[in-house]
């Protein structure tokens, strides 16, 4: 069968026409109320008094809800129960929700918010992970992975270097802000339309806060205007608030954050302050590596413990290091709880080892790429967490990048340019990536698909997959079209709904297409087996001789007169079930947190990026000339969609590493609170050329149709941008002492160029 790999994203038609539906586009019922969140105007303090009287008196204000109105538990924490929906007596971050104002219009609710008077007695504010560590303020116990004997290995090293790194947070900036719409159904049931990556998390948390059974809550998602991890956990509070108001008012309530509220109230990628120690042999083998990662977790756990864990999983990136000790501390601060963001702690871990390698290369006086190359992961190497590396493509992608892109010529070009130019300098870097695929929390790796064939032969598919622009619905459709051998027009991907597919994991961890795709594949295959039986009876031939092709039944490769549609009619007449529900759970994976050893990942994704940049040495500004990538797609099932994921992730990674600068003041107030003060990549900051070539590989059976997960891994190619910049600065200023403090903004580049 020929899977159609050059398929367009099925949403492209409605996207381009502006017809795609988001939460804010849902037709609202007559009488719907609109809500605005009243949040803490201080990062840490005791609430002395709140006067809602003027706000409540405003014409059009229906009611203001606080923690006192919660019938169930004032608790929305996922991994750890440490996060109230609404502050009670204390506030823990600037932007922490205190109340929900419900009014006839959003405008009135917003106006009412300005009339609330609150008095807060200041408590000490912690904004950095280091301060939190010094004060012993943590989310949970530290975690540590180790392999070999690191202490002993350092003693045998020819070179040992130590240093510190910082990587800043990152705003998700999904184009669709957080939001939800809650509607009362009969008997106290509530339906919620939510912009969430995790419909089950919303359902469960609403039920918990309202003190009702989960079956009373239905959550429906058509698609998101971007998630990037920001809606894995943090889509929940807004849905819960809307549902709480609906519960009390028996009326529909819409709550959509505006951009400013969203920026202020939601968490971001975790900033990390880290220290490393790296030891190498004379021939540049990394013999020992040790790190301490300080994760700035914010004021509540959210997903921080899981993110911290993934930092440890990726601390050695694409390298084999025989002696490793890594440790991570989730530090509790007075920032909004930081949360999942594409890569989920992996990028933060990988930035540190790349910094350590750059530092070692600088001190020894060799190009970083020699150290990188000397230590690339090989078949059967052991990761610090005990998994044995299999079907490794680290060297394959590296070597094919070198060859395909003619690295000698490229390096010569950069050297020549730097020799002949004094006002502009070029820098080049290599960035290999290795990213583990599966939720690191093994029990989350499962999914279900519910497939209906309707009596006219059209098909409807429901899964837990949430479409957020990544094209997962298109992939689900391809799978069904391939198995049934019918055109994609006959297939509809339904909304993601908790009543059709229940108890689901969020769409996250790059695993959505794998998990839901495998379930879809199983369900479709089961239906095909059933249909073959019907056809075999009808045509009086053995099932083994039957195949489905081109909307028809083929017998021994020849087209019969039984079509897809007539076959479905026959199945109906024979009372054969045309619905199938399949459950998939990733085999083989396991992890023992007491030993910090196991086999947590179904497989790894590999790749190598070569980045070149030109720095304007008068201004400190820069342009990325090119990023040349050899990427391990396995066998890509949707080439355009996967390429789009690589390109988008790369640019997002470059943004994190070079432009995007989250700033809080010492009082914990977000300074980068608008798009005028928070710079994201635009058309001028994307590389002038991006090339992506698939590495030749056999693919992996644990990936859907051998097409590997593609959502997160390529973000880490962006780390190469940081080191290309370091090299350009070095070419201009021989005194430059490498800095590992991301993002590398033009200001920092300029300072580096003229550092004495």
Q: Which of 275, 274, 280, 424 is nearest to 365 (CA)?
A: 280
Query: Of 342 and 369, which has the nearer Cβ to ligand GUN?
Result: 342
Q: From the CB of 154, what's the least distance to ligand GUN, in Å?
A: 31
The three-state secondary structure class of 407 is: helix
Q: Which residue is nearest to ligand MOS (CB)?
A: 229
310 binds ligand GUN (CB under 6 A): yes
439 binds ligand MOS (CB under 6 A): no
Report the 3 state secondary structure along 633-650: CECCCCHHHHHHHHHHHH
Among 344, 484, 633, 722, binds ligand GUN (CB under 6 A): 344
Among 306, 368, 480, 488, binds ligand GUN (CB under 6 A): 306
CB atoms within 10 A of CB 306: 22
93 binds ligand MOS (CB under 6 A): no
Give the span between the Cα atoms of 727 and 720, in whole angstroms: 11
In 407-536, the DSSP E strands lie at 424-437, 446-453, 459-463, 491-493, 496-497
Q: From the CB of 579, what's the least distance to ligand GUN, in Å?
A: 30
341 binds ligand MOS (CB under 6 A): yes
Binding-site string for ligand GUN from residue 391 to residue 430, where x marks contact by CB under 6 A and - marks none: ----------------------------------------
Beta bridge partners of 279: 160, 288
Q: In what order do the strands lie in the sheet with 558-563?
A: 546-549, 552-555, 558-563
Choose the catalytic residue: 131, 467, 712, 747.
712
From ligand MOS, ligand GUN, none, which one binds at residue 439 (CB under 5 to 8 Å depending on kind)? ligand GUN
Q: Which of 434, 385, 448 is nearest to 590 (CA)?
A: 385
466 binds ligand GUN (CB under 6 A): no
Among 330, 440, 463, 478, binds ligand GUN (CB under 6 A): 440
197 binds ligand MOS (CB under 6 A): yes
Q: Which of 274, 273, 256 is nearest to 265 (CA)?
A: 256
Among 166, 383, 439, 624, binds ligand GUN (CB under 6 A): 439
From ligand MOS, ligand GUN, none, which one binds at residue 310 (CB under 5 to 8 Å depending on kind)? ligand GUN
Binding-site string for ligand GUN from residue 508 to residue 537, where x marks contact by CB under 6 A and - marks none: xx----------------------------
The encoded tokens of residue 513 equal 């297409």
302 binds ligand MOS (CB under 6 A): no
The encoded tokens of residue 188 equal 């106290």
Asked whether the CA dihedral 529, 534, 535, 541 is positive or negative, the reply is: positive
Only one residue has tokens 């719907």, namely: 32
Only one residue has tokens 């019969």, namely: 560
Q: Which of 326, 623, 598 is nearest to 440 (CA)?
A: 598
Q: From the CB of 340, what's the least distance to ligand GUN, in Å?
A: 5
CB 199 within 8 A of CB 496: yes
Give the span between the Cα atoms of 380 and 159, in whole angstroms: 26
From ligand GUN, ligand MOS, none, which one binds at residue 440 (CB under 5 to 8 Å depending on kind)? ligand GUN
Buried b (16+ CB within 10 A) or exposed e, 540-568: eeeeeebbbeeebbbbeeeebebebbbbb
Q: How many residues bind ligand GUN (CB under 6 A)?
A: 12
Give the span between the Cα atoms of 358 and 23, in whole angstroms: 46
The three-state secondary structure class of 590 is: strand
Q: Which of 171, 184, 326 is nearest to 249 (CA)?
A: 184
Binding-site string for ligand GUN from residue 248 to residue 287, where x marks contact by CB under 6 A and - marks none: ----------------------------------------
Candidate ranges 338-346, 366-374, 395-403, 519-527; the one touching ligand MOS (CB under 6 A): 338-346
Q: Which of 260, 253, 307 is nearest to 95 (CA)?
A: 260
Looking at residue 319, the DSSP 8-state letter turns out to be B
Candidate ranges 334-342, 373-381, 469-477, 583-591; the one touching ligand MOS (CB under 6 A): 334-342
CB 113 within 8 A of CB 315: no
Query: Of 232 and 596, which has the nearer Cβ to ligand MOS?
Result: 232
Kindly list the distances between the CA atom of residue 256 and the CA atoms of 30, 148, 195, 253, in Å, as whole numbers in the listed order: 18, 51, 10, 10
Give the span between the Cα atoms of 522 and 22, in whole angstroms: 30
340 binds ligand GUN (CB under 6 A): yes
Q: From the CB of 142, what's the least distance to ligand MOS, in Å?
A: 22
Query: Of 267 and 279, which has the nearer Cβ to ligand GUN?
Result: 267
656 binds ligand MOS (CB under 6 A): no
468 binds ligand MOS (CB under 6 A): no
Q: From the CB of 413, what's the least distance to ligand GUN, in Å?
A: 37
Candidate ranges 97-105, 158-166, 303-311, 569-577; the one touching ligand GUN (CB under 6 A): 303-311
Report the 3 state secondary structure along 129-194: HHHHHHCCCECCCCEEEEECCHHHHHHCCCEEEEEEEEECCCCCCCCCCCEEEEEECHHHCEEEEE
Does 712 qualify as catalytic in the annotation? yes
Query: Of 170 and 672, which has the nearer Cβ to ligand MOS?
Result: 170
620 binds ligand MOS (CB under 6 A): no
Q: From the CB of 508, what's the least distance to ligand MOS, in Å?
A: 3
Give the span between the Cα atoms of 314 and 294, in whole angstroms: 15
Q: Which residue is nearest to ligand GUN (CB)?
A: 344
Query: Of 200 and 440, which has the nearer Cβ to ligand GUN?
Result: 440
Peptide bond into 743 cis (omega under 30): yes
CB 168 within 8 A of CB 743: yes
For 555, list phi and psi in degrees, rounded to 5.
Answer: -110, 125
Q: From the CB of 307, what's the least distance to ligand GUN, in Å?
A: 8
209 binds ligand GUN (CB under 6 A): no
Among 229, 279, 305, 699, binds ligand MOS (CB under 6 A): 229
Q: How many residues bind ligand MOS (CB under 6 A)?
A: 10
267 binds ligand MOS (CB under 6 A): no
Residues in 699-718 that interact with ligand MOS by CB under 6 A: 712
From ligand MOS, ligand GUN, none, which one binds at residue 341 (CB under 5 to 8 Å depending on kind)? ligand MOS
CB 235 within 8 A of CB 221: no
From ligand MOS, ligand GUN, none, which one binds at residue 642 (CB under 5 to 8 Å depending on kind)? none
Among 154, 276, 293, 344, binds ligand MOS (CB under 6 A): 344
Which residues are marked as active site?
A: 712
Task: List residues binding ligand GUN (CB under 6 A).
Answer: 229, 232, 303, 306, 310, 340, 344, 439-441, 508-509
Task: List residues binding ligand MOS (CB under 6 A).
Answer: 197, 229, 232, 340-342, 344, 508-509, 712
């Amino acid at each position: 069968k020929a899977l159609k790999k050059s398929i367009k994203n099925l949403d492209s038609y409605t996207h381009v026409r502006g017809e795609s539906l988001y939460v804010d586009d849902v037709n609202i019922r007559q009488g719907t109320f609109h809500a605005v969140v009243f949040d803490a105007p201080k990062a840490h303090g005791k609430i002395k008094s709140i006067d809602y009287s003027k706000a409540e008196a405003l014409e059009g204000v229906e009611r203001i809800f606080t923690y006192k109105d919660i019938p169930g538990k004032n608790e929305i924490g996922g991994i750890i129960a440490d996060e109230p929906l609404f502050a009670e007596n204390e506030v823990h971050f600037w932007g922490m929700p205190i109340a929900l104002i419900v009014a006839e219009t959003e405008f009135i609710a917003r106006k009412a918010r300005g009339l609330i008077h609150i008095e807060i007695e200041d408590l000490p504010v912690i904004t950095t992970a280091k301060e939190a560590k010094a004060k012993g303020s943590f989310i949970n116990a530290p975690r540590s992975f180790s392999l070999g004997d690191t202490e002993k290995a350092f003693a045998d090293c020819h070179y040992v270097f130590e240093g510190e790194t910082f990587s800043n947070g990152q705003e998700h900036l999904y184009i669709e802000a957080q939001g939800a719409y809650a509607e009362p159904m009969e008997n106290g049931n509530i339906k919620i339309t939510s912009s969430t990556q995790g419909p089950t998390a919303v359902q469960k948390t609403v039920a918990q806060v309202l003190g009702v059974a989960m079956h009373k809550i239905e959550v429906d998602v058509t698609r998101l205007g971007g998630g990037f991890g920001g809606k894995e956990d943090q889509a929940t509070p807004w849905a819960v608030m809307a549902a709480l108001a609906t519960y009390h008012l028996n009326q529909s309530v819409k709550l959509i954050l505006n951009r400013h509220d969203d920026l202020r109230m939601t968490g971001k990628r975790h900033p990390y302050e880290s220290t490393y120690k790296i030891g190498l042999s004379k021939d540049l083998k990394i013999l020992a590596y040790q790190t301490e990662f300080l994760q700035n977790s914010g004021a509540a756990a959210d997903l921080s413990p899981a993110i911290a864990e993934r930092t440890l999983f990726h601390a050695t990136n694409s390298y084999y290091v025989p002696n490793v000790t890594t440790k991570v501390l989730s530090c509790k601060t007075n920032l909004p709880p930081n949360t999942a963001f594409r890569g989920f702690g992996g990028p933060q871990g990988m930035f540190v080892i790349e910094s350590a390698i750059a530092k070692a290369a600088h001190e020894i006086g060799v190009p970083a790429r020699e150290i990188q190359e000397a230590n690339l992961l090989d078949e059967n190497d052991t990761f610090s967490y005990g998994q044995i590396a299999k079907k490794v493509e680290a060297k394959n992608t590296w070597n094919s990048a070198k060859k395909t892109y003619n690295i000698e010529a490229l390096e010569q070009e950069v050297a020549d340019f730097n020799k002949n130019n004094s006002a502009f300098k070029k820098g080049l870097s290599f960035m290999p990536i290795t990213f583990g695929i599966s939720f690191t929390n093994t029990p989350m790796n499962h999914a279900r698909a519910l497939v209906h064939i309707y009596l006219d032969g059209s098909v409807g598919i429901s899964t837990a997959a949430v479409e957020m622009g990544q094209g997962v619905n298109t992939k689900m459709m391809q799978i069904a079209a391939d198995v049934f051998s019918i055109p994609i027009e006959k297939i509809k991907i339904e909304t993601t709904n908790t009543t059709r597919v229940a108890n689901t994991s969020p769409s996250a961890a790059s695993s959505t297409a794998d998990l839901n795709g495998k379930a879809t594949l199983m369900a479709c295959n089961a239906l095909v087996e059933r249909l073959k039986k019907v056809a075999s009876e009808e045509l009086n031939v053995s099932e083994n001789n039957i195949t489905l092709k081109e909307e028809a039944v083929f017998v021994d490769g020849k087209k019969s007169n039984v079509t897809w549609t007539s076959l479905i009619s026959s199945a109906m007449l024979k009372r054969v079930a045309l619905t199938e529900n399949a459950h998939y759970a990733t085999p083989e994976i396991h992890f023992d947190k007491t030993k910090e050893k196991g086999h947590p990942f179904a497989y790894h994704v590999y790749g190598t990026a070569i980045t070149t940049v030109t720095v304007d040495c008068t201004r400190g500004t820069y342009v990325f000339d090119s990023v040349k990538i050899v990427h391990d797609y396995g066998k890509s099932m949707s080439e355009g969609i996967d390429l789009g994921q690589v390109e988008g992730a790369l640019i997002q990674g470059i943004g994190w590493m070079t432009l995007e600068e989250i700033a809080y003041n010492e009082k914990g107030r977000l300074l980068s609170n608008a798009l005028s003060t928070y710079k994201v990549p635009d058309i001028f900051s994307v590389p002038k050329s991006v090339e992506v070539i698939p590495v030749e590989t056999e693919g992996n059976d644990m990936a859907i149709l051998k097409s590997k997960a593609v959502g997160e891994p390529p973000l880490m190619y962006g780390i190469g941008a940081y080191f290309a910049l370091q090299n350009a600065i070095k070419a201009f200023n021989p005194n430059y002492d490498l800095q590992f403090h991301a993002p590398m903004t033009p200001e920092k580049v300029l300072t580096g160029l003229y550092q004495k």
